[in-house]
Homo-oligomer: A and B are copies of this chain.
């Protein structure tokens, strides 16, 4: 499979979202999350774990006295917030927010060292240790996030100050590590800068940055392994946290166990993996490297067809926040970190740029409507870091193996990576809806609003209307098209077994290819396309190799995965068995806000009576009929804390 065409995404500013479903969440990010997170970054939020992120920059800038506080990657919290805020500004000007950002950019610029180095953990009292511990410390990771922020802020405002700071920072890194014989062959312990450097290349046009990104990817995992050498050199003597001798590096943990070209199975820390795969897809596209693209395909297939939860979550174990192996998807001990799913969206989005296959959009949609929305509360102030598929609050409290799973969203985390990652994803949601190639506009997501998608041959102006994912009809009005033989392609979701496309009241012909319906004749100025996606609630089964889901089914309606909660179904959800022949009835207005439909089904509940306190006895099936009420996974945990279960016995 070669790279035959590149598909571009429109700018965020060119896609306006006016959607009953998503606008609420995006407003929540803009009006609540970003201001709330800003207060936290400034340590002005009582009752929330101290961030100190901005304080660290002020100390490094010489504006205040003090010690560094926080994780070695604390700087990235501010960077991710800045990136999210920049996307928000690109979508809609906000002079007050822009002023706040300009002020903090001044501080960041002052915190930068003369040689371009920027990392407050080392600048504050640990200068001599710079670059000595790439394996554990996060210098390149933090630089990467700030580069992403700089690129985003430059695109949003045209202001270069942070961009210049981060170009100097990247230049400094390029002077320290690289292919020249005299240079150390280092690369990041936590991948991230690889994809950031691609963005820096795209906004500056400076090929140095794409070369550095490619260098980091190509060098990774080569023999002799840099992290092993680093450890054998000095790092084995002590670790940065305990001062005690450290263990040898775990190479598969950060995907440096073999060259990236040879990697076919997703292993190790899931977020590191996703960021790296995303960068690989970028670099493969830009440098037209078919071999690297092929590695991306292998890794993609492995993740989404072997190691992804039905909600779009990934990472089967808490230990190392990591992938385990094919088909190992335990529900109650899942790690399923929010950031890993954000990273999987990044990966999918980049794959889509060279390989127009509906599968990428399917995965993005699956993640957005399930794990991403589920990870935040409806008030925008509480978040899940871990997104389990099964919750038993007593076990999450009393069984240490399940203690990483929380039955209630938390305000902020000591390791506060997830909330700003959600923020930057949602403020840039516009870029995931459409993309375009030589002669085709692709509609990937069904999110209402207006878009002006500028291509070399002209602009597509279109409007989407509908009430997705709750209504089956999507109306797309084409206001203008480029002056060429062009077509519109609509993603037909993988979950959809029956659909129809009409134009001006008549069924239209289309050509199906890799998950898209291509409408050749329907594209004319003023044309109206109506897409009907049949979306009854359905039972879904997992591949029988997924032992954790054997004998179980999940309920899905359109892209939305459902779950049972104790609030609707009583205590002990494991006692419930769904009747596979039961009609799944979608009902609105029962208990949930905003007209969110619940799904009702018939089933059976094991009787708990007549057990005289004993644990085991001869088998007798004693059940009673019961009504089952399922709610969308993304709303779980917003009522009384209790049990939750996605996979139900059938």
Contacts from A to B (Cβ < 8 Å): 242, 244, 301, 304-306, 308, 310, 316-320, 322, 324-325, 328, 330, 332-333, 392, 394-395, 398-401, 497, 538-548, 550-551, 553-554, 572, 574-575, 577, 580, 606-608, 611, 613-621, 649-650
Contacts and interface: CB of A to CB of B under 8 A. Distances in A.
Contact of A399 (B328, B497, B544): B328
B328 A395 contact: yes
Contacts of A577: 551
A575 B551 CA distance: 8
B333 A401 contact: yes
Given A317-B399, A550-B649, A621 B545 contact: no
A319 B392 contact: no
A621 to B, nearest CB: 7
Given A543-B614, A543-B615, 13 more contacts: A305-B615, A320-B400, A325-B395, A328-B399, A401-B401, A539-B619, A543-B608, A544-B575, A544-B607, A550-B575, A551-B649, A580-B621, A621-B650
Contacts of A580: 619, 621
A305 B613 contact: yes
Contacts of A332: 330
Contact of A328 (B318, B398, B551): B398
B541 A618 contact: yes
| A-B pairs, 5 with minimum CB distance | A319-B400, A539-B619, A550-B574, A547-B574, A324-B399
Contact of A497 (B242, B497, B543, B618): B618
A577 B550 CA distance: 9
B398 A325 contact: yes
Contact of A304 (B540, B548, B572, B615): B615
Nearest to A394: B325
B611 A544 contact: yes
Contacts of A650: 619, 621
Nearest to A335: B401
A631 B304 CA distance: 37
A585 to B, nearest CB: 16
Contacts of A553: 619
Nearest to A242: B244
Contacts of A328: 394-395, 398-399
B611 A401 contact: no
A429 B320 CA distance: 45
B392 A540 contact: no
Contacts of A616: 310, 540-543, 554
